[in-house]
Structure 1
Amino acid sequence: METVKSFLFIAVELTILFFVITFLISALQAYIPYKKIEHYLSEKNTWVGVIAALLFAFITPFCSCSTIPVVVNMLRKNMPFAIVMIFLFASPVLDPTILTLMGVILGWKVTIIYTIVTATFSVIIGFSLTKLGFSRYVKSVMMTGYEEETKSFHWKGAWDETLTLMKGVYPYLIIGAAIGAVIHGMVPTAWVSEWLGQESWWIVPIAAVVGIPLYIRLSSMIPISQVFILKGMALGPVMAMMISSAGASLPEVILLKSIFKKQLVIAFVLSVITMATLSGFIFYLV
């Protein structure tokens, strides 16, 4: 009975938050100058391109898989490899809807640190892969079906987009709420505190590695993380698992193999694990 009550409470809270936040962000999408951002992405001034890539990653609410067609389009337009990589790493982890949910549920301090850390590591990894010459491992594969569109604001459009996003993401949110409720009701707090609440360094990389094959979307990880933290799990491994599960998933890796050679695919996975692990250690410190 306690598990059911916990599920209903988490589900209702997340439903209200997700719907309101999604609608507001969908309405604001009409005012975002996508054409200008695309222009800045191609800028010769490196740091203008970096800022544009991070901004574009933030305003495009994509999961790791739906990022791939945009990456292909950027490569087709011969945008700098470093800028494309920054977008690839940042887009799945800097979702505006999920960041707002994270702020409400996990706290704004955690969300701000998460945003700064993931954005910084995305930039570092993007430039590192470029310096190491990984651009030569991009295949000459083009993907069709991705077109930019100019949006004009109207309430019905915002409503339709909200419903579309709800259909795609909301089920994962409910799955996360269900898993969180089961953890809350059935997993002993003492066990979580004893085994996962320690500040043992080895827990963080394990959590980072485990996050990738699980393919738990960031929207599902929010309620799960909330419950784990309430149970006494240390913030470091929670954030490491959250970042790795959002940054790289098995479906995404399979899609990446169609546009990247195996050397770059392996480098991508290792980079996400590294970013998740180091981020976890940073959360231990703060």
Structure 2
Amino acid sequence: MLAETFKSFLAIAIELTILFVVISFLINLLQSYIPYEKVEKHLGGKNKIFAAFFALIFAFVTPFCSCSTIPVVVNMLKKKMPFSIVMIFLFASPVLDPTIITIMGVILGWKVTVMYTVITAIFSVVIGFTLAALGFEKSVKNVVMKGYEESNKKFDWKAAWQETMQLMKSVYPYLLIGAAIGAVIHGLVPTKWIAGTFGSGNWWLIPLAAVIGIPLYIRLSSMIPISQVLIAKGMALGPVMALMISSAGASLPEVILLKSIFKKELVITFVLSVMTMSTVSGFIFYLI
């Protein structure tokens, strides 16, 4: 059983490593053609729908986890960008990582991945505009945070490879952790137990997964291999996606950072919004 678990870990780890290196390298090359200055100009434009679309694009091409998104949010607020657009980016950036979404497509299937991308994008926009309409902009503190610098550097092949290796240092350990957990589930946890406990039509598993995901701080890169094994073992897709979205969208370290730039009422609303997004998304996957 232990030998089977180790073989499963090697198989998952090798597959994820190849996918991660190849996809990250290609995306880093493509990022050299993205006109960031024009994107930021559109983010602050008068057409809010158009600006929301560019906020999603900006979130997609900035592969940050929930914590590293915060300095960029501060920079956007300092530039007096519309509050609704900043909130759209805050919600969308951690869950719309281009590398991880591509890996998700290969591992979990493109139908699931397209649904995930569309649902999280729509929710990010709706939540961003809703928070602005409810007047939460007044809950932003006047702070200055270091840690974000703009760059006009154009990637070449060498620079793209260096960037890929740098990304490997920060993200790859989480991929291996996810692969290890997935291998343990695959080798040691009985399929019948997972299918019987989490594969049933119990609706309450979805909000439970959404609540559990936030304090766990499982990065999206770790959740992909875990989700693959859980689904293969018979776990329902709804709770898996709810756990994936909530763990990627918010975390305890991020909430602590948010308290330095947002007042308490906005921090609480942010956490509740992530839980709502993950719960409703889970039910959508559950029904479909």
TM-score by length of 2: 0.98
Cα 1:4–1:261 change in 2 (3 A) is same
Across the aligned residues of Structure 1 and Structure 2, the Cα RMSD in angstroms comes to 0.6
Shift of residue 146, structure 1, vs aligned partner? 1.6
Q: Does 1:122 align with 2:124?
A: yes
> Does structure 2 conserve the Cα–Cα contact (< 8 Å) formed by 1:197 and 1:234?
yes
Deviation at 1:143, TM superposition (A): 1.2
Q: Is the 8 A contact 1:248 1:269 kept in 2?
A: yes
2:108 and 2:146 map into 1 onto residues whose CA distance is: 39
Distance 1:151 1:32 in 2: 11
Amino acid at match of 1:128: T
> Which one-letter code corresponds to 2:155 in the other structure?
F
Specify the code of the residue in structure 2 equivalent to 1:217. R
Deviating more after overlay: 188-197 vs 145-154:
145-154
Q: Indicate the SS of the match to 2:145.
A: coil
Counterpart of 2:141 in structure 1 is 139
Q: In 2, Cα distance between the equivalents of 1:127 and 1:199?
A: 33
Tell me, in whole angstroms, the C-alpha distance in 1 between the residues paired with 2:148 and 2:119: 30
Q: Structure 2: which amino acid aligns with 1:93?
A: V
Instruction: Structure 1: state its 5+ residue gaps.
Output: none
Partner of residue 90, structure 1: 92
Deviation at 1:151, TM superposition (A): 2.2
Deviation at 1:108, TM superposition (A): 0.2
Secondary structure of 2:155's aligned partner: coil
Q: Quick check: 2:56–2:92 contact (8 Å CA) kept in 1? A: yes
2:158 corresponding residue in structure 1: 156
CA distance in 2, matches of 1:175, 1:52: 33
Moved more, 142-151 or 163-172: 142-151
Listed as ranges, the matches of 1:168-183 within 5 Å are: 168-183=170-185
The one-letter amino acid paired with 1:90 is A
5+ residue gaps, structure 2, are: none
CA offset digits 1:241-266 (Å, max 9, x no partner): 00000000111001000000110000
Match of 1:205 in 2: 207
Deviation at 1:153, TM superposition (A): 2.9
SS at match of 2:262: coil
Counterpart amino acid of residue 234 in structure 1: A
SS class of match (1:52)? helix
Q: Distance in 1 between matches of 2:155 and 2:144?
A: 31
Q: What's 1:252 paired with?
A: 254
* SS in structure 2 at match of 1:11: helix
Other structure's SS at 1:145 match: coil
For the Cα contact (< 8 Å) 2:76–2:86, is it kept in 1?
yes
Determine helix, strand or coil for the equivalent of 2:120.
helix
AA aligned opposite 2:91? F
Q: Counterpart amino acid of 2:254?
A: E
Cα distance in 2, alignment partners of residues 7 and 242 from structure 1: 20
260-269 vs 145-154, which deviates more?
Answer: 145-154
- For residues 154 and 5 of structure 2, the distance between their equivalents in structure 1, rounded to whole angstroms, comes to 44
- Quote the residue 1:216 is aligned against: 218
What is the aligned counterpart of 1:103 among 105, 113, 121? 105
Show CA shifts across 1:209-245 (max 9, x none). Answer: 0000110000000000000000000000000000000
Amino acid aligned to 1:61: P
Residues of 2 paired with 1:145 and 1:105: CA distance? Answer: 33
Determine if contact 2:28/2:155 at 8 Å carries over to the other structure. no
Work out whether 1:285 is the aligned partner of 2:283. no
Moved over 2 A (4+): none
SS of the equivalent of 1:25 reads helix
Distance 1:219 1:153 in 2: 24
Task: Tell me the residue number matched to 1:32.
Answer: 34
Residue 243 of structure 2 is matched in structure 1 by: 241
**Identical pairs, percent:** 73
* Corresponding residue for residue 232 of structure 1: 234
Q: Within 2, Cα distance between the matches of 1:133 and 1:154? A: 44
Q: Partner of 1:57 in structure 2?
A: 59
Letter in 2 for 1:113: M
- Cα separation, 2, equivalents of 1:153 and 1:116: 29
Shift of 1:37: 0.1
Looking at structure 2, the residues matched to 144 and 167 of structure 1 have their Cα atoms a distance apart, in angstroms, of 22
TM-score (norm 1): 0.99
**Residue 184 of structure 1: how far off its partner (Å):** 0.4
